[in-house]
């Protein structure tokens, strides 16, 4: 590890409680698609870049897990234009998309997807043309992918290779950023905990990019990695930035439920449905989505918000499957059609005892993606000077409900833009800022030598996930949301102000403490925003306010002032002249 850290240019040995220091032009926090693309662009602009991640570089977070598709108006098989993709994105966002951000996503998507193609990602092709699949909410086939179920791993690998080839990028894994450092209202770097040694690390930067992904680890049933507890949202809030649309957590309707599936992505049924249709059935073995306004007839056309609602309502009415979901059947497909579409994946299913020609599987909604996030403009600049954001960490582009495939496009496009903007910002300064005073509070937390206290942080994480699942899930009400806020308040007071333990290497209760500090803040913000929005729109389904209200056609913005969470309405950001 000493060698690794010498290679990254850190000063000092990774000893517990002795701060290591590193200095850079652009600090990128998070190395999913957004962070890696940002690093490549910033380095390409001639800046020194430090790419930090609490996991291995390019292997934590959502990007590497994604197995499905990427939406982009390439028009490779069917004529298309970014404006059609944009119209579909706005319609899916149920009136709340930040239009300039949505436009950026759709307009620059094709360039990023072609760049990835040039770098060798291997988009699936037919007769030399990149294949584009039809997905719900899109008006034409628009989603590219890498066979078989290999989109995210291929995107990550391609970007990791580009990062390795770029000059000027230093990489630091196992670095969990616990706070941004500010001076006079400007972000000047970050304080981090080196997980392998327990040592504090001070990172000085002229510009900082948050590319920390989403928050679905807040939920008991989620498609997330362990690192998706919403760190970036909490870091941004504490540094004075705002969050938007925090109530809109996307539940993916057909997350795998039963039988047991080992070593495979719980949301892998989406690509199956793209290619093969599939039928959603209740326990009478009848299709039911037509009762909720969408007749599928074996096609895949239901959007995620309506799909989740329809499934949960069937279960509630006693028409669910044995494990509390509904059935998804591909029994109309022959073995050879399945093999042609999914090759070796069929063998992996067989190893799990699943033969799709003979049996349906059970599916149910699963927390999957966050539409809300950090307020940023089309340069990816937040309201706090020196702080940029990229990828799922940014809020607003997808409004109240994201179209399938838009998230990886968002990560690539926003990452590229953030890298360029942060590099331009960093070039305004000749020397890196000094952190001596600003890091004191963060260092005190990381190096605290506190007695072990009588609480179990792992149990607290579980209690938080349970209340978020049951009370701030896909179906909400005032009663449930109030109960969740009470649990969150109790857990917050139990957590107290100082992390437990002595902070040695891989001190799990200390790492949990830092995670819980962020998770509890972000959970509270999600629940408060959901409670305030007294209507049903997109991913926010209120049982006590079951209709969309035109009076609520605005986004809610969250800030922390004097340790108090403030929620306010914001005018919708609409597109001005095309940029
Ligand atoms: C299972 C799954 C399948 C999906 N499939 C698709 C799909 O097919 N198509 C699609 O468009 N979208 C899909 N999505 C959504 C999409 O993958 C994500 O929205 C997108 O990849 C996010 O990219 P990102 O770079 O913003 O964040 P991520 O890829 O999540 O990367 C964030 C990084 O930040 C790091 N990090 C977090 N906190 C800290 C901290 N405090 N300090 C240091 N590092 C930190 C994490 O370790 C991680 O490496 C899927 C998501 C999941 C979970």
Q: Quick one: how far is CA 208 from the chain centroid?
A: 19
**How far apart, in whole angstroms, are the C-alpha atoms of residue 258 and residue 262?**
11
**How far apart, in whole angstroms, are the C-alpha atoms of residue 206 and residue 24?**
7
φ, ψ (nearest 5 deg) of residue 436:
-45, -50
The region, left, alpha or beta by phi > 0 then psi within -120 to 50, assigned to residue 113 is alpha
β pairing state of 243-244 and 555-561: antiparallel
325's tokens: 């979901």
- Give the residue whose CA is nearest to atom 46 of ligand 1: 61
Number of neighbours of residue 102 by Cβ within 10 angstroms: 27
Number of neighbours of residue 484 by Cβ within 10 angstroms: 27
**How far apart, in whole angstroms, are the C-alpha atoms of residue 499 and residue 100?**
41
Q: Quick one: how far is CA 565 from the chain centroid?
A: 22
What is 162-199 written as a DSSP string?
A: HHHHSTTEEEE-SEEEEEEEEETTEEEEEEEEETTT--
Q: Does the pLDDT of residue 579 top 60, yes or no? A: no
**How far apart, in whole angstroms, are the C-alpha atoms of residue 336 and residue 573?**
49
Q: Are 374 and 560 in contact (CB under 8 A)?
A: no
Average pLDDT of the residues in 451-475: 92
Q: Are 78 and 141 in contact (CB under 8 A)?
A: yes
Q: Does the pLDDT of residue 11 top 70, yes or no? A: no
Which pLDDT belongs to residue 6?
43
Site to probe by mutation for ligand 1, drawn from 72, 227, 249, 521 as the one with most ligand atoms within 8 Å of Cβ, is: 227
Which pLDDT belongs to residue 50?
98
Site to probe by mutation for ligand 1, drawn from 27, 56, 407 as the one with most ligand atoms within 8 Å of Cβ, is: 407
Q: Are 191 and 439 in contact (CB under 8 A)?
A: yes
pLDDT band, residue 225 (cuts 50/70/90):
confident
Q: Which of 253, 355, 325, 354 is nearest to 294 (CA)?
A: 253
Query: What is the 195 CA–ligand 1 centroid distance (Å)?
Result: 20
Which pLDDT belongs to residue 169?
98
Q: Which residues line ligand 1 (CB under 6 A)?
A: 29-35, 52-55, 60-63, 65-70, 151-152, 175-177, 211-213, 223-224, 227-228, 231, 265, 267, 369, 391-393, 405-408, 411
Atom of ligand 1 nearest to the CA of 212: 34
Query: What is the 288 CA–ligand 1 centroid distance (Å)?
Result: 32
CA dihedral in degrees (507, 229, 225, 195; nearest 10)? -30
Which pLDDT belongs to residue 18?
67
149's tokens: 């179920």
Query: What is the 156 CA–ligand 1 centroid distance (Å)?
Result: 10
pTM of the model: 0.95
First to last CA, the chain: 46
Mean pLDDT of the chain: 93
Q: Which of 219, 217, 276, 280 is nearest to 253 (CA)?
A: 280
Atom of ligand 1 nearest to the CA of 36: 25
Site to probe by mutation for ligand 1, drawn from 89, 144, 152 as the one with most ligand atoms within 8 Å of Cβ, is: 152
304's tokens: 């995620």
**How far apart, in whole angstroms, are the C-alpha atoms of residue 105 and residue 167?**
27
Average pLDDT of the residues in 477-491: 98
> 152-200, pLDDT tens digit by residue?
999 999 999 999 999 999 999 999 999 999 999 999 999 999 999 999 9
Atom of ligand 1 nearest to the CA of 151: 8
Which pLDDT belongs to residue 2?
37
Q: Does the pLDDT of residue 462 top 60, yes or no? A: yes
Atom of ligand 1 nearest to the CA of 409: 11
**How far apart, in whole angstroms, are the C-alpha atoms of residue 95 and residue 104?**
17
Q: Are 320 and 282 in contact (CB under 8 A)?
A: yes
Which pLDDT belongs to residue 570?
66
Query: What is the 33 CA–ligand 1 centroid distance (Å)?
Result: 7
Beta bridge partners of 569: 556
Q: Does the pLDDT of residue 76 top 90, yes or no? A: yes
Query: What is the 549 CA–ligand 1 centroid distance (Å)?
Result: 32
Q: Are 446 and 200 in contact (CB under 8 A)?
A: yes
241's tokens: 């930035």
Query: What is the 317 CA–ligand 1 centroid distance (Å)?
Result: 35
Residues labelled catalytic? 304
**How far apart, in whole angstroms, are the C-alpha atoms of residue 144 and residue 142?**
7
Atom of ligand 1 nearest to the CA of 34: 25
Average pLDDT of the residues in 449-471: 90
Q: HSE of 561 in the Cβ direction (CA atoms, 13 Å)? A: 7
Q: Which of 569, 551, 549, 546 is nearest to 559 (CA)?
A: 569
β pairing state of 49-52 and 125-126: unpaired
Which pLDDT belongs to residue 67?
82
- Give the residue whose CA is nearest to atom 6 of ligand 1: 66
Which stretches of 45-150 are DSSP H helices? 82-92, 99-118
Beta bridge partners of 170: 50
- Give the residue whose CA is nearest to atom 4 of ligand 1: 66
Which pLDDT belongs to residue 16?
52
pLDDT band, residue 495 (cuts 50/70/90):
very high
Atom of ligand 1 nearest to the CA of 60: 49
Query: What is the 265 CA–ligand 1 centroid distance (Å)?
Result: 14
> 528-577, pLDDT tens digit by residue?
999 999 999 999 999 999 999 999 999 999 999 887 889 998 655 666 44
Q: Between 86 and 569, name the one with better pLDDT.
A: 86
Share of the chain above pLDDT 70, in %: 95
């Amino acid at each position: 590890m000493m060698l690794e850290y010498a290679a990254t240019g850190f000063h000092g040995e990774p000893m517990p409680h002795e701060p290591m220091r590193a200095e850079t032009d652009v600090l990128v926090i998070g190395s999913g698609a957004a962070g890696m693309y940002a690093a490549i662009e910033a380095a390409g602009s001639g800046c020194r870049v430090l790419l930090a991640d609490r996991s291995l570089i390019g292997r934590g977070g959502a990007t590497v897990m994604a197995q499905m598709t990427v939406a982009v108006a390439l028009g490779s098989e069917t004529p298309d234009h970014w404006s059609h993709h944009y119209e579909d994105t706005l319609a899916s966002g149920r009136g709340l998309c930040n239009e300039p951000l949505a436009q950026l996503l759709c307009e620059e998507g094709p360039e990023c997807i072609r760049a990835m193609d040039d770098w060798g990602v291997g988009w699936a092709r037919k007769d030399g043309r990149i294949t584009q699949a039809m997905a719900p909410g899109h008006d034409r086939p628009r989603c590219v992918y890498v066979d078989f179920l290999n989109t995210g791993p291929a995107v990550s690998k391609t970007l990791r290779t580009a990062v390795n080839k770029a000059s000027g990028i230093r990489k630091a894994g196992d670095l969990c950023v616990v706070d941004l450092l500010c001076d006079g209202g400007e972000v000047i770097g970050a304080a981090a905990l080196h997980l392998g040694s327990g040592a504090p690390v001070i990172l000085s930067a002229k510009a900082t990019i948050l590319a920390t992904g989403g928050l679905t680890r807040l939920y008991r049933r989620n498609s997330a990695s362990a690192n998706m507890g919403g760190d970036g949202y909490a870091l941004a809030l504490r540094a004075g930035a705002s969050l938007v649309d925090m109530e809109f957590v996307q539940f993916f309707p057909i997350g795998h439920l039963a039988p047991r599936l080992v070593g495979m992505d719980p949301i892998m049924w989406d690509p199956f449905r793209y290619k093969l249709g599939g039928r959603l059935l209740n326990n009478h073995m009848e299709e039911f989505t037509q009762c909720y306004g969408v007749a599928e007839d074996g096609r895949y056309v239901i959007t995620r918000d309506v799909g989740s609602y329809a499934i949960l309502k069937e279960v509630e009415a006693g028409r669910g499957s044995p494990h509390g979901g509904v059935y998804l059947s591909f029994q109309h497909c022959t073995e050879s059609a399945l093999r042609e579409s999914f090759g070796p994946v069929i063998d992996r299913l067989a190893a799990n005892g699943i033969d799709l020609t003979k049996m349906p599987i059970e599916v149910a909604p699963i927390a999957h993606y966050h539409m809300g996030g950090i307020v940023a403009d089309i340069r990816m600049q937040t309201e706090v000077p020196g702080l940029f954001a990229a990828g799922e960490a940014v809020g607003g582009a997808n409004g109240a409900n994201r179209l399938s495939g838009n998230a990886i496009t968002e990560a690539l496009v926003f990452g590229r833009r953030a890298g360029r903007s942060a590099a331009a910002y960093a070039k305004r300064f000749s020397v890196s800022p000094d952190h001596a005073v600003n890091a004191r509070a963060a260092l005190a937390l990381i190096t605290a030598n506190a007695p072990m206290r009588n609480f179990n942080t792992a149990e607290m994480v579980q209690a938080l996930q349970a209340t978020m699942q049951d009370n701030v899930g896909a179906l909400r009400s005032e009663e449930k949301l109030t109960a969740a806020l009470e649990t969150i308040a109790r857990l917050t007071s139990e957590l107290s102000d100082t992390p437990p333990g002595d902070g040695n290497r891989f001190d799990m209760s200390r790492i949990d403490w830092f995670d819980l500090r962020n998770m509890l803040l972000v959970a509270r913000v999600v629940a408060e925003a959901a409670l305030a929005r007294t209507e049903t729109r997109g991913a926010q389904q209120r049982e006590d306010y079951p209709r969309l209200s035109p009076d609520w056609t605005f986004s809610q913005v969250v800030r922390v002032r004097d340790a108090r969470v403030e929620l306010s309405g914001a005018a919708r950001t609409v597109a001005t002249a095309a940029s």
